[in-house]
Structure 1
Amino acid sequence: MSGPWNYDKMFIDGGWTADDAVGAIEVIDPATEEVIGSVPEAGLKAADAAIQAARRAFDDGPWPRKSPRERAVVLRRLAAILDERHDALRELIVAESGSVGFLADLIQVRGTIDIAKWVAEAMDHSVQWTEVSPPEGGPTGMAGHAVVREPVGVVAAITPFNFPFFLNIVKVLPALAAGCTVVLKPHQWTPLDAFEIAKAAADAELPPGVLNVIAGGADVGQELTTHPMVDMVTFTGSTPTGRSIMAAAAPTVKRLQLELGGKSASIVLDDVSEEHVAGMGILTSMIHAGQGCALHTRILLPEHLLDAYVEGAKKSLSWLKVGDPREPDTLIGPLIREQQRQRVEGYVQSGIDEGAELVFGGKRPEHLAKGFFYEPTLFVNARNDMRIAQEEIFGPVLTVLTYRTEEEAIRIANDSIFGLGGGVVAGNTARGFNVARQIRAGNVAVQTVGAAVGNFERLGGSGPGWSADQAKGVGITGVFGGFKQSGVGREWGHHGIEEFTELKTIAWS
């Protein structure tokens, strides 16, 4: 069966070509298991051609020599084209990734286009491209120096299946903003939106070779991470793959930006009420069927709050609909592929075998005959040395551990090879902030219980002189990245653009 999104050519050097394709990659909808499209599978010759094109575009082309403002003009056109195609992109990405509606609007599609628009608008003034020292007297007259940011060069961008459009834009747009040229290799399960980005880039008249899009397997990834003409690799995916990329990039000492796995812990402090804990539910740990590296998949509770949490979690199942992501009331969609579901099943069995208590879930939904669905699953009375508490499951599985003292909770939260995300739920803002400072992770959310939100209509703006439409949202404000084996480097905001630059000092006399 053929789908509506079929591409028979790759995007290399500003044009569409089938040269050196070695086959076709079929893409299936994880909710229906039907084929929805296909893309060419690149061979090593195609990968080399894409790298060569990016190298020429960087070394000889105009793109890295344009001013940030000149590049912004082109990126604004690109963002505007994506915005015009929002509805079609939303339909594609829901089918490609299994994203439910609210997530498509918040992050996967609408939020991602907002990131593209922000990068295009802010790149020329959010980054300090040049720092010039005051002039000083010298033996030959006036002397001084400048520190300038220059593009790092050719970037290989390798992205995963869970948030494909979002991560493609978060990597490609900042790299282009910095003046780099890019070879983008999306995941084989979710390549379609990357080819839509290529179409938008062509229509925006991005110079040839500045963006190249190919899809392929591990051999193509190996070519991108070892090729001497590639200056930097930006990758999002598992920690084991990140280790392999780091080793592959070492002989040529490539710059790396690695956003890797997580096993984030959310600490509920002992000044939180039973009533609040009972209302916490499990949804935030189950977003996108648990296929998020920064989701809080461990909850640390004081022993006296466990029963209240379990009762509340059970009640939350009544409205936590699992099913077709196209239905507006669906909150949990499918896993991406059958092998991912089998992986989750293996972890659930390990939790049972190691002695954790399965409260609910742990099986495939009986009412869904098609699609790679899995029930929301809750374990309690787990130990932190169990696999379900230490390893990234990437499925709708939440593990609850109990603690007796605040110090023990912090120790458990940090007892992990990962350090991507974390959370603190507290009755006092200062206490919550101080605990957050002790969590060894790159992204920590603090929620103060009972904090007054006030009238939603008054949340916009900050008084005279401030716009009511400040830049905000995932991928725009703050930074994203991990400690320890959760990665190297940071994404989002101006920091995400600066990752693709080198600093150079130029002195004169």
Structure 2
Amino acid sequence: MTVTAARTELERTRFFIDGEWVMPRGSDTHVALEAATGTPLGTASLGTDADIDAAVHAAHRALEGPWGHTTAAERATVMRRFADALSARADETSTLVSRENGMPIALSNAFNGAAPAGLLRMYADLIETMPLEEARPSPSGATIVRREPVGVVGAITPWNYPQVLAMMKIAPALAAGCTVVLKPSPETALDGYILGDAAIEAGLPPGVLNIVLAGREAGAALVSHPLVDKIAFTGSTAAGRLIGAECGRLIRRCTLELGGKSAAIVLDDTDIATFVAGLGDASFQNNGQTCTVQSRILAPRSRYAEVVDAVAHFARDMIVGDPLDPAVTCGPMASQAQLERVLGYIDAGKRSSARLVAGGARPAALSRGWFVEPTVFADVDNSERIAQEEIFGPVVTITPYDGDDEAVRLANDSEYGLGGSVWTSDEERGLAVARRIRTGTIGVNYYLQDLGAPFGGMKSSGLGRELGPEALDNYLEYKSIYASADQLHR
């Protein structure tokens, strides 16, 4: 949204480029609205191609200059200072993100407050213990296998988990010796500035991290900039296809963490209490605005009515309201556009052969903000839109099945493969089913992301992996240096 003037609580009209807050090259601004009220929260400038160009050149200079010549230990020291600066701001950050996108505050404390600093410390530790050169015997003497930074990284992040998704790219990139241009989403226009403030306090060298808030056109300029060596993107599959095509044309490295439509398989021996206890994290996390939510619940016909009743009761018992209230378990959608998208899918479900068993409307008691009731459709054919397309809201479907083989077939009957879960009283049986699902992550009797393990998708859910030690490979190039056998003894 472009405005000429607005009085808002937060004014963030500069970009973090080359270690400083600088004036934008353009004049467009974006008024951020609070998700729970729809009222103005802050104003931020929107970047242009020229702002992106300035940020990329700053990152390139830093790569060619001091940062490109640091040791792993030196980078780790800076990263730990960065982590400390973010930890000192954790409460402020968590609260701001919840106001921006409606995330319940307890979840925001974990993913926007604590996790970014934790990732910086984890990758600082990893890079200090990773040998960057290794001499191997070869037929002609020795080969030195060397790890070098991939270069300038363009990081493009969405609005649903803005801080942790940004740091899932920034932390391994900095550890590897790369420099970064971060383009956050305008839907969470304000919290990215906290990263810049913390970077200054931590003493990151100029140009190592640059932050330009911008829309899609400037994002496209970042993807195609000739000085960018790699794109790290999290967002929709549709946008990921465009980015992947451009990176392919340019022979440019990319990692793409994209959409999902994951399945929760309830086996016939499931303890329903265990399943219900895990539903919040597995199927309704962050008001359903999570790419890994298991929004397709597959239930055995022998216990179908029991599962439908349990899920419907869970949804009706969720507390919808102000995300800053610790008692609230479902906050608002992040924007008016997202609310309309979710309501559109609910309408599609009502027009289908599915049976609405919970929710299905806006809460009558909440006249402001972008709230929607947690919604459950039963008797859903897996071919229906609400079972195949990513809704990104608190809407789940329940589909019956006969036998484990049909459950696996239905779970895999999706263009996506990002998350999933299996619920059973027999963990070995659950693991056997989990191994048959084509998905990047899956839980047995719970679903909680492990920041120390690789994360990413199969099929249309993306390319590459983030998190865990494996993520460092995304930001490293391998060089083989052929040398004499003397190198084996050094």
Report the TM-score, using the length of structure 2 for normalisation.
0.93
Q: Does 1:17 align with 2:17?
A: no
Are 2:421 and 2:444, in contact at CA under 8 Å, matched by a contact in 1?
A: yes
Does the CA contact (< 8 Å) of 2:153 and 2:230 recur in 1?
Answer: yes
C-alpha offsets along residues 176-205 of structure 1, whole Å, 9 cap, x if unaligned? 111111110000111322111011112212
CA drift of 1:273 comes to: 4.7
Provide the C-alpha distance between the structure 2 equivalents of 1:77 and 1:169, rounded to a whole number of angstroms: 15
> What is the match of residue 502 of structure 1?
477
Which string of whole-angstrom CA distances, capped at 9 and with x for unpartnered residues, describes residues 208-261 of structure 1?
111111011111011011111111100000000000111222221110110000
Q: What amino acid is aligned across from residue 442 of structure 2 in structure 1?
A: V
**Is the 8 Å Cα contact of residues 294 and 420 (structure 1) preserved in structure 2?**
yes
Deviations 1:249-279 (A, max 9, x none): 2221110110000000011112225665676
Shift of 1:128: 4.2
Contact 2:90 2:112 survives alignment (8 Å): no
- 1:485 is aligned, of 460, 463, 471, to 460
Asked if the contact 2:82–2:117 (Cα under 8 Å) also holds between the matched residues in 1, the reply is no
In the TM superposition, what is the alpha-carbon distance from 1:390 to its structure 2 partner? 0.5
The one-letter amino acid of 1:219's match is E
User: Are residue 42 (structure 1) and residue 40 (structure 2) matched?
Assistant: no
Q: How does 1:264-413 map to 2 (within 5 A)?
A: 264-273=262-271, 284-317=282-315, 319-413=317-411
Q: Which amino acid aligns with 1:133?
A: R
Any idea what the Cα deviations from partners look like across 1:437-464, whole Å, max 9, x if unmatched?
Answer: 100000010129xxxxxxxxxxxxxxxx
* Paired position in structure 2 for 1:191: 189
Is the Cα–Cα contact under 8 Å of residues 282 and 313 in structure 1 kept in the other structure?
Answer: no
**How many residues end up aligned between the 2 structures?**
478
Q: Do 1:22 and 1:43's aligned partners in 2 also have CA atoms closer than 8 Å?
A: no
Cα distance in 2 for partners of 1:137, 1:227 equals 41
| 8 Å contact kept, 1:25–1:40 | yes
Structure 1 SS opposite 2:27: strand
Q: CA deviation at 1:281?
A: 5.3
Q: Distance in 2 between matches of 1:257 and 1:280?
A: 30
Deviations 1:104-135 (A, max 9, x none): 2232322333223322333312x44322225x
Q: In percent, how many aligned pairs have the same letter?
A: 40
Q: Secondary structure of 1:147's partner?
A: strand
Q: State the shift of 1:488 in Å.
A: 0.5
CA distance in 1, matches of 2:147, 2:76: 16
Q: Does 1:27 align with 2:25?
A: no
Q: In structure 2, what is the equivalent of residue 132 of structure 1? A: 135
1:89 corresponds to which residue? 93
Unaligned segments of structure 1, at least 5 residues: 449-472
The one-character-per-residue Cα deviations of 1:159-188 (angstroms, maximum 9, x if unpaired) are: 001000111111111111111111100001
What secondary structure, in the 3-state scheme, does the structure 1 residue paired with 2:44 have? strand
Query: AA paired with 2:290?
Result: G
Q: In the alignment, which residue of structure 2 is the partner of 1:54? A: 59
The alignment partner of 2:83 has SS state of helix
Which residue matches 2:488?
none
The residue aligned with 1:168 is 166
* SS of equivalent to 1:156: strand
1:113-152 map, 5 Å: 113-125=117-129, 127-134=130-137, 143-152=141-150
User: CA contact under 8 A between 2:333 and 2:393: conserved in structure 1?
Assistant: yes
- Corresponding position of 1:99: 103
Structure 1 residues 273 and 167: alpha-carbon distance in aligned structure 2, compared to 1, 3 A threshold: closer
Unaligned runs of 5+ in 2: 1-5, 485-490
Say if 1:356 and 1:318 are closer, same or farther in 2 by CA, change over 3 A: closer
Secondary structure at the residue paired with 1:170? helix
1:285-309 Cα deviation digits (max 9, x unpaired): 1111100000111111101211112
Q: In the aligned structure 1, how far is the partner of 2:166 from the partner of 2:430?
A: 34
Q: 1:351 to 1:319 in 2, by over 3 A?
A: closer
* Cα distance in 1, alignment partners of residues 469 and 10 from structure 2: 34
From 413, 418, 432, the counterpart of 1:434: 432
Q: How does 1:220-299 map to 2 (within 5 A)?
A: 220-273=218-271, 284-299=282-297
Residue matched to 1:80: 84
